[in-house]
């Protein structure tokens, strides 16, 4: 159960969405059988539409996992465009490197094998699109860096912002151990919805996705 939308609606949308081909299809099938974290199908479609309109030259991703979303987003880069993706966990780094190689994207995707907490403050670059998909408890701390690194007219897309729907519940209606994340994610969402530099929407698809346009 998704806890965010009705299952029958999700099921229907997934049914009418064609299977991905090639390496993306293979990773999707693997993710279904194991607990590989990859963006949900609806989120993959949303990102594909946004990026095909945006036609980015540079993309930053926080949270590579096995490289699924990095490979997907690379399809929408302008000729000669680059994607930088950050992953801190060695098992994921190794899987991502293999997938990026298999996809023939070694010259397009650079994997930074470090914690984003270390990388973001010293990153001196600018991006058309930033995809935030790392540890939910850190979004708040990462936000000022993302806003600094995002070009004017750029898009910040953040995944898992409703955290199985818990973020929309009252603090007292969720288990004590989830309350820190709840508080931090609410503060992240408050920030992006009230920042006058941003045009923001929060969508109840997948695990909750926020899309912000930097004016």
Q: Which residues of the chain form contacts with ligand SAH (CB under 6 A)?
A: 37-39, 63, 65, 68-69, 86-89, 92, 115-117, 133-135, 138
Interacting residues of 103 by C-beta distance below 8 A, sequence separation 6+: 22, 23, 67, 71, 74
Whose tokens are 């801190």? That residue is 88
Quick one: what does residue 68 bind among ligand SAH, Mg ion, none, with the CB cut-off 5 to 8 Å set by partner type? ligand SAH
DSSP, collapsed to helix, strand or coil, labels residue 74 as helix
Nearest-approach distance from CB 160 to Mg ion, in angstroms: 5
Quick one: what does residue 123 bind among ligand SAH, Mg ion, none, with the CB cut-off 5 to 8 Å set by partner type? none
Q: In the numeric block, which tokens belong to residue 199?
A: 């045009």
DSSP, collapsed to helix, strand or coil, labels residue 172 as helix
CB-wise, 170 or 178, nearer to ligand SAH? 178
Rounded Cα distance, 57 and 75, in Å:
11
Quick one: what does residue 134 bind among ligand SAH, Mg ion, none, with the CB cut-off 5 to 8 Å set by partner type? ligand SAH
Only one of the segments 72-80, 88-96, 101-109, 132-140 lies at the binding site for Mg ion (rule: CB under 5 A); that segment is: 132-140
CB-wise, 87 or 159, nearer to Mg ion? 159
Contact yes or no for 155/212 (Cβ under 8 A) = yes
Rounded Cα distance, 80 and 96, in Å:
21
Quick one: what does residue 69 bind among Mg ion, ligand SAH, none, with the CB cut-off 5 to 8 Å set by partner type? ligand SAH
């Amino acid at each position: 159960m998704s806890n965010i939308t009705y299952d029958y609606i999700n099921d229907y949308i997934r049914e009418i969405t064609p299977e991905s081909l090639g390496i993306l299809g293979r990773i999707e099938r693997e993710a279904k059988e194991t607990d590989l974290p990859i963006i949900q199908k609806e989120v993959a479609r949303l990102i594909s539409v946004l990026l095909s309109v945006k036609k980015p030259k540079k993309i930053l991703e926080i949270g590579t996992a096995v490289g699924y979303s990095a490979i997907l987003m690379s399809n929408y880069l302008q000729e000669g465009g680059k994607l930088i993706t950050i992953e801190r966990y060695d098992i994921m780094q190794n899987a991502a490197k293999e997938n990026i190689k298999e996809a023939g994207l070694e010259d397009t995707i650079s994997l930074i094998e470090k914690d984003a907490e270390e990388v973001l403050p010293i990153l001196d670059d600018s991006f058309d699109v930033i995809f935030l998909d790392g540890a939910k408890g850190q979004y708040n701390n990462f936000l000022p860096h993302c806003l600094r690194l995002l070009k004017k007219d750029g898009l910040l897309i953040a995944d898992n912002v409703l955290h199985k729907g818990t973020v929309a519940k009252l603090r007292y209606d969720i288990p004590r151990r989830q309350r820190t994340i709840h508080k931090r994610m609410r503060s992240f969402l408050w920030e992006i919805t009230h920042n006058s530099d941003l045009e923001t929407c929060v969508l109840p698809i997948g695990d909750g996705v926020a899309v912000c346009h930097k004016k």
